[in-house]
Chains A and B, each alone.
Chain A
Amino acid sequence: MTLASTDRPLAEPIVDAATEPYWQAARQGVLNIKRCLSCKQPHWYPRPLCPFCLGETEWLPAAGTGTIYSVSVTRRAGPIPYAIAYVALDEGVTLLTNIVDCDLDALRIGQRVKVCFKPTDGGAMVPMFTPA
C-alpha cells in the first residue's frame, strides 16, 4: 500500500528566550542544535545549561542529515495521518520530528533522511525531515 503524506496545518511555535535564536535560524534554513562550552557534548532538546554538566551552551548548526531511529504513522489522531519519528542526527543527538513529503507506508527504521522546513500560517519555519 502507499499513502502519500499531506501537510498538516502547523501552529505558531512557542518563542521565548530559550527558543528565539533557534526559530530565527530555521527561517534561514538552518537546523541548530546545542553544544556545551565546557564538556563539548552536543545535546537535544536545546537548553541554556548543559544536561550533562550544567555548563553554558552555544548554538551549533547541524548538517541536517540523519537516520530514522523509530517511526510511527499516526492514523487516527485527526483528519490527516502523519509520521512522527525520532531521527538520529549525524552529530549524535536524536530528536522528535515528522517525516514529510513521502509515502508514509514506505518509511522504515534505518532510512536516511534530510532536513526540510514547513511553514506555519504566521510565517515561521518548522524543521522536519524527508527521505534523502
Chain B
Amino acid sequence: MSIKEKACIAGAFEHPTRKAPDKTVAQLHAECAKGVLEDAGLSLQDVDGYFCAGDAPGLGANSMVDYLGLNIRHVDTSDTGGSAYLVHVSHAAQAIAAGKCNVALITLAGRPRSEGSSGVGPRNVTAATPDVPWEMPYGPVTVNMYALAAARHMHEYGTTAEQLAWIKVAAAAHAQHNPNAMLRDTVTVEDVLNSPMIADPLHKLDCCVVSDGGGALLVVRPEIARALKRPVVKLLGAGEAIKGQLGGRVDLSWSGAALSGPRAFEEAGVKPADIQYASIYDSFTITVLMQLEDLGFCRKGEGGRFVADGNLISGVGRLPFNTDGGGLCNNHPANRGGITKVIEAVRQLRGEAHPKVQVPNCTLALAQGTGGLLGSRHGSATLIMERE
C-alpha cells in the first residue's frame, strides 16, 4: 500500500512564542491544537486520530488525549526524536488510507529555554539505555556527537568551516523577514567563524537555538481537505529510517537520510531536481550538509560546494531552504525541530511564506528530519508534498 495522494496536510500552526516561563508544556500543546484547528477550519470534534512523541508530558497520549478533550479511534506515539513528527505525518496517512481515522492531530511543545536546557548537557541518561554504560564516561553531549560527524566529513571530503558557515548565513538571511524568529540579524561567514568554538569544528553559530514553543499539524482524508477553504497540500511520498553504530562498524560518512530519502522519492515518483523548496533539519550546520548529500541534491562529498555562496538562499540560490530561518535562527521547540520543517513547507506550498522568501509558484516541496544524534543513533524521516 502506498500513501501517495491518500492524505493531505490541512492544517499547520507554529506557536509564536519563543519563551514561555509562565505556561505549562501541556498548555502549549493545547494552544497549538487550537491554532491548527483554526488554521484548517476544523473543530475539536472532527479529530479522530492523535499523534505525539516524547515531548508530551505525562504518559504521552494517555495524558494528552484526556487533557485536550479528544475523542479518538486511532493513536500513535512513535518517537524518533526530532524527526518523530514527520514519521507521524506518514503514519497518519497510512492510518487514513487504512480507514482507521479521518482527521489526525499531531502536536509538539516544550520549554527547554525556560528550563535551562542546552546542547552541551548530557541527554537520555538512564542506566537502562543500552549504550549508556559504554558511552557516558566519555562525555557525549549533543553538540560533540554532531561535531564528530563534521570532523570526519572534513577529513574525508575536504569540507571547510567556511562552507558550513554558509548554511547559517542562508538561514539568517531568511530569518530577518520572520518577526517571530529568535535571531533576526543577518550574519556573515566571518561572524560564524569568529563565534566561540564549542566542540571542534562546530562554532556557536553552527548550532541551533534553544527555544520554547511548539507546533501542530492536521493530516486529513483528501475529500475533507478539498471541502475546506485552504489550499490543498497532498502527500506524495514518505520514508523513515533509524541509523546507528552498525554493531561497531561506525560510518559517519552518511546519515539516515540516505535510507529515508530514496524511499520517499520512489513513492512520490519525483527526483531531487524536481524539488522547488526544501525544509532540512538544521540542529547544526553539518546536519543540513549531510542530509542534502544523502537526499541526492548533490553528490556525496560535494555538500560543501553545494551550500556555499548563498545557494540555499531563496531568490539567490538553486535550492531555497528553511525560509522561516529554521532551527538555526527561528525556532527549535522542545529541542525537536521536525514539526517546524513541515510547517514551513506547507506555508511555501500554500504561497503563505513571507513575500521576501516565498518561492514563486511553489508546487513541490520536501521536508527532512533527523532526530537524536548524528554521530551515534538517529531517526530520519523524509516527506514529499505537492500543492493540488
Chain A contacts to B: CB under 8 angstroms: 8, 10-11, 13-16, 18-19, 33, 41-47, 51-52, 69-78, 82, 84-86, 88, 92-98, 109-110, 126, 128
The answer on a CB contact under 8 Å between B134 and A75 is no
The answer on a CB contact under 8 Å between A76 and B248 is no
Kindly list chain A residues whose C-beta atoms are within 8 Å of the C-beta of B185: none
Cβ of A84 to closest chain B Cβ, rounded Å: 5
Given A14-B133, A69-B152, A71-B151, A94 and B248 contact (CB-CB distance below 8 Å) = yes
> Which A-chain residue is minimally distant from B149 (CB atoms)?
A70
Cβ of B135 to closest chain A Cβ, rounded Å: 5
Kindly list chain B residues whose C-beta atoms are within 8 Å of the C-beta of A13: 133, 137
Total inter-chain residue pairs, C-beta < 8 Å: 126
The answer on a CB contact under 8 Å between A45 and B141 is no
The answer on a CB contact under 8 Å between B135 and A76 is no
Enumerate 26 A-B pairs (CB-CB under 8 Å) in ascending A order. Answer: A10-B137, A11-B136, A13-B137, A14-B132, A19-B133, A43-B247, A45-B131, A45-B245, A70-B152, A72-B147, A72-B148, A72-B150, A74-B139, A74-B141, A74-B143, A75-B198, A77-B139, A77-B198, A78-B139, A84-B148, A85-B148, A92-B248, A93-B249, A96-B376, A98-B139, A128-B138
The CA of A95 and the CA of B252, in the complex, are separated in Å by 13
Contact among B127, B144, B155, B198 with A16 in the assembled complex (CB-CB below 8 Å): B127
The answer on a CB contact under 8 Å between A77 and B143 is yes
> Which B-chain residue is minimally distant from A8 (CB atoms)?
B139
With A45-B131, A76-B198, A96-B138 given, can you name 15 additional A-B contacts, CB distance below 8 Å? A44-B134, A45-B134, A45-B245, A70-B148, A70-B151, A70-B252, A74-B120, A75-B198, A76-B199, A82-B139, A84-B148, A93-B247, A93-B249, A96-B140, A109-B155
The answer on a CB contact under 8 Å between B249 and A73 is no
Cβ of A79 to closest chain B Cβ, rounded Å: 12
